[in-house]
Structure 1
Amino acid sequence: MKTLITGGIVVTMDPALGDLTRGDVLIEDGQITEVAPHIDAPDAEVIDASERIVMPGFVDNHRHTWQTAFRGAGSDWTFAQWAQAMHHTVKPHYTPEDVYIGTLMGRLEALHSGVTTMLDWYHVAQTHAHEDAAIAALTDAPGRSVFCLGAGWGSESSVEDDIRRVRATLNGGGRIDLALGMRGPSYTGIDTATREVKLADELGMRISLHIEAPGTITELAEHDLLRDTLTGVHANGVSVDELRMLADAGGSLSISPDVELKMGFGAPMTGLALDAGLRPTLSIDDVPSVGGDMFSALRTAFAAQRGIDGRLRSRDLLDFATINAADSMGLAHRTGSLTPGKDADIVLLRTDDLTIFPVAEPASSIVSQGHPGLVDTVLAAGQVVKRDGALVGVDLPALRQRLLASRDRIAEAVAVALDGTWDPKPTA
């Protein structure tokens, strides 16, 4: 099967190909086979990209979709309030169905706004049925996902059996892969952390770790636990010297700029990461607190760093949210740029919308004026999953009802109002 995307402004994110002011992209059997100013493919299905920007799908390497039902409930919360609300108040009431519908709707939301590859950081760990529900939701949603299993969250117990059980199902190579959501030595002690890293090594899994305090990277380095497969998340307040240890090991850093600024983590670590030799990546984190689209993260990270020292250009931000993030997930050979041989993970953005028209330089327009309303068409591995602004083959009314039922049941069980008055009181 062939598909020809024709006549768009093509932003490849491949330095060897650059941008095309008018270009075509040919897709065969789910992969990009050619990018050129003009391609003859008379036997291909044609997607007209005139008045569109054609770009790689966004890559989000850190999002907690299980919380989708409580979207917007925590807009005014600090980190401590969020932790109290989500982990200590509502999470104990989550059934597998709640995990399924939250994960599915969260993944569909990401896809709807142009995120074709997403790491789902699961830490609603309770039972195997909850884990299986999350995997089922990611399987039922189009696009590529990585199930980052944060098993044992809130405990110091071994998670080896859990990891091996899920790994036997998700053994790599498909649309859904498995990563280790590591708890870290500050939660489990260094001995357990060592066992988890060695387990990830054995099973060929990547690792994602929330770095919430200085010293964590140093402790991992002292025990030879830093890896090129490890992505640190946040790391606010960590020194350049510590970040350099992560860079020297080949690791990566995921920045969630909206959450970090709103919840009081501190300024995003974009500039310091660059100083340390890291290419930052961008992620959303959670939608109870912030919006779930990558455009907002791009703009916040850009403005925050430019306000500090004036560095960065729009193209840097697109790198962070495409090819750099794909590399952090070990997927740069498959996605993150419109390079022949890669999967056709492609987004078409409207350029005739009044909020972006007229487009001068496409990267600048995407970063400074982009928003989910511009996402007209999305292809995931060559499959059209959004067309003319609407997801394909998704019964959204029915799914919305299931999500509302989930949220309302849990809110009633914990006796909280969803009218903006919920003020979680962190316990000492």
Structure 2
Amino acid sequence: MPENRSTESRLLIKGATVLTMDPALGDLTTGDVLVVGDRISAVAPELTDPQAEVIDARGMIAFPGLIDTHMHAWQTPLKGLHATGWTFDDYQSRVFYLREHFGVEDIHDATLAGSIEMLDAGVTGVLDFCHNVMSPRHAEAALDAHRATGQRTLWAYGMLSSLDGAPREDAWRLDHVSELRKETGDDGLLRVGMALASIERGSMGRIAEEIALARELGMQMTVHQNPAGQIRALHEAGLLGPDIVPAHSNAADNEELEFIAACGGSISFTPECEFGGGRSMTVLNRAHRAGVASTLGIDTPARVPIDLFATMRLTFLLMRSVDAFDEREAGRYPLTRRPGVPMVEPRHMLEYATVNAARAIGLGEDLGRLAPGQLADLVLINTAPYGVALGDPAAHVVLRTQPSDVDTVVVGGAVRKRNGVLTDLDRADAGAATERVRERIFTDVEAAAQGRDA
């Protein structure tokens, strides 16, 4: 099991273009990053340390590790099943019903496969929203998989028992999440949080019970937020806070976004899935304007690939498109630049996936920047063979990078990928785990269908 590096270990990254994402440090056209143990010790144009392992990063861009704030890792083996999905019924009938066929081994293998693929793609941190906790053993299997890969994980224990709004018959979930939270604590790569039951499928009383427990135990929370008015309902009930990360919120009105911003909160947007599912994307611009700490996620690998670079790119283009639509509707065409329009630059997208995301998972003081004292989660992308783009190097990361460009991945000071190859994990293991899950669950589905027909 990968662990944080000891306090004596030293790593020196030399000669990179360094995007610190720290306002006080800015960018270094050519710079070095010294890591001691699991934290960054120094960032400067030139550093030396004869005791450090050296990584020659000339021609590369260094930036904080990407953080996915809304991922269903258990759905990794189901990639492609929701590719042409359109409605929630499509999702339910093609993807979500399969959770009943996932055994304990399936949850472990699916989570393992997803976590390996994320690390390979430069995603050092994840909020894994696991709404497939069918038993305590399912939860423990998912945690074991994350421990095995060593990705920095906020694993959100799913409180959703069914989609039919049935009364709670699973108080064991509250007891079990309490146990797991106390076991994992706050100091390691793996922490336990809570994925609240969907508000529309429970009651506000049930949600309030879950939130009260999470706050008693100091857990970060997340919730699927789809229907209109739910953020207002949480606010009016005195439940809204920065420790709850709503996912999606496409129907949120401007006042609701102001409620989130006022409490220092975040939203996890998953633009590839939301846009592909026909949702309104104006919320991206409205949330940014309101001061919400916007973050990004993949959502389900059943629809889109594990590629946060593509997500950042699409988000940027969607926000530019909304700006342009507003300008045209106001009669301001041909387009011209004016104060505040266009609203975002590519660098904002990198902020969403690093600084803002670290804040959303409860590590805003310790993660998301390359600065002394920060946890040493970082990525190096190789700009060879075609060279770095001119202009802002953050634009190269957001608009021109793909997972195959990820040369080096460091999590907690440990080098997890180097020279484009995972150091202590194997891509083939992820593929094999996916195949095992598919063979087991679809055999089970077929057997269940035959049983119904008998």
TM-score in terms of structure 2 length: 0.88
TM-superposed deviation, 1:398: 4.0
The answer to whether 1:351 aligns with 2:383 is yes
Partner of 1:373: 404
**What is the CA–CA distance in structure 1 between the aligned matches of 2:221 and 2:357, rounded to whole Å?**
14
Question: Where in structure 2 are the equivalents of 1:134-149 lying within 5 Å?
Answer: 134-149=142-157
The answer to whether 1:316 aligns with 2:325 is no
Aligned AA (1:96): V
For the residue of structure 2 that corresponds to 1:77, the secondary structure is coil
CA RMSD of superposed structures (Å) = 1.6
Alignment counterpart, residue 151 of structure 1, candidates 155, 159, 175: 159
Aligned AA (1:172): D
Partner of 1:425: none
**What is the CA–CA distance in structure 1 between the aligned matches of 2:282 and 2:367, rounded to whole Å?**
25
**Greater Cα shift, 320-329 or 154-163:** 154-163
Partner of 2:193: 179
The answer (yes or no) to whether the contact 2:65–2:125 under 8 Å persists in 1 is yes
The answer to whether 1:70 aligns with 2:78 is yes
1:277-330 deviation per Cα after TM superposition (whole angstroms, max 9, x unaligned) = 212111110111011111011011000010110321011111100001101111
TM-superposed deviation, 1:399: 4.1
Question: Where in structure 2 are the equivalents of 1:78-97 lying within 5 Å?
Answer: 78-80=86-88, 81-88=90-97, 90-97=98-105
Aligned AA (1:111): L
Aligned AA (1:332): G
The answer (yes or no) to whether the contact 2:160–2:198 under 8 Å persists in 1 is no
Aligned AA (1:87): F
The answer (yes or no) to whether the contact 2:81–2:94 under 8 Å persists in 1 is no
For the residue of structure 1 that corresponds to 2:95, the secondary structure is helix
| Percent pairwise identity | 34
Partner of 1:342: 374
The answer (yes or no) to whether the contact 1:260–1:268 under 8 Å persists in 2 is no
**What is the CA–CA distance in structure 2 between the aligned matches of 1:59 and 1:399, rounded to whole Å?**
20
**What is the CA–CA distance in structure 2 between the aligned matches of 1:235 and 1:399, rounded to whole Å?**
32
Partner of 1:383: 414
The answer (yes or no) to whether the contact 2:14–2:57 under 8 Å persists in 1 is yes
For the residue of structure 1 that corresponds to 2:147, the secondary structure is helix
1:167-222 deviation per Cα after TM superposition (whole angstroms, max 9, x unaligned) = 23222211111111011432211111111111111000111011111111111111
Alignment counterpart, residue 128 of structure 1, candidates 131, 136, 157: 136
Unaligned runs of 5+ in 1: 417-428
The answer to whether 1:168 aligns with 2:177 is no
Q: Which runs of 4+ in 1 moved over 4 A?
A: none
Partner of 1:197: 211
**What is the CA–CA distance in structure 1 between the aligned matches of 2:148 and 2:176, rounded to whole Å?**
22
TM-superposed deviation, 1:413: 3.0
TM-superposed deviation, 1:50: 0.5
The answer (yes or no) to whether the contact 1:261–1:268 under 8 Å persists in 2 is no
**What is the CA–CA distance in structure 2 between the aligned matches of 1:312 and 1:395, rounded to whole Å?**
38
TM-superposed deviation, 1:261: 0.4
TM-superposed deviation, 1:404: 0.5
TM-superposed deviation, 1:363: 0.5
Alignment counterpart, residue 33 of structure 1, candidates 22, 41, 63: 41
Aligned AA (2:401): G
**Greater Cα shift, 369-378 or 37-46:** 37-46
Q: 1:132 to 1:233 in 2, by over 3 A?
A: same
**What is the CA–CA distance in structure 1 between the aligned matches of 2:264 and 2:139, rounded to whole Å?**
30
**What is the CA–CA distance in structure 2 between the aligned matches of 1:222 and 1:104, rounded to whole Å?**
40
Aligned AA (2:286): L
TM-superposed deviation, 1:268: 5.7
Unaligned runs of 5+ in 2: 1-8, 324-341, 448-454
Aligned AA (2:207): A
Aligned residue pairs: how many?
A: 414
TM-superposed deviation, 1:106: 0.4
Question: Where in structure 2 are the equivalents of 1:257-268 lying within 5 Å?
Answer: 257-267=271-281
Aligned AA (1:72): G
**What is the CA–CA distance in structure 2 between the aligned matches of 1:21 and 1:79, rounded to whole Å?**
46
Alignment counterpart, residue 53 of structure 1, candidates 61, 86, 92: 61
The answer (yes or no) to whether the contact 1:255–1:269 under 8 Å persists in 2 is no
For the residue of structure 2 that corresponds to 1:4, the secondary structure is strand
**Greater Cα shift, 158-167 or 284-293:** 158-167
Partner of 1:397: 428
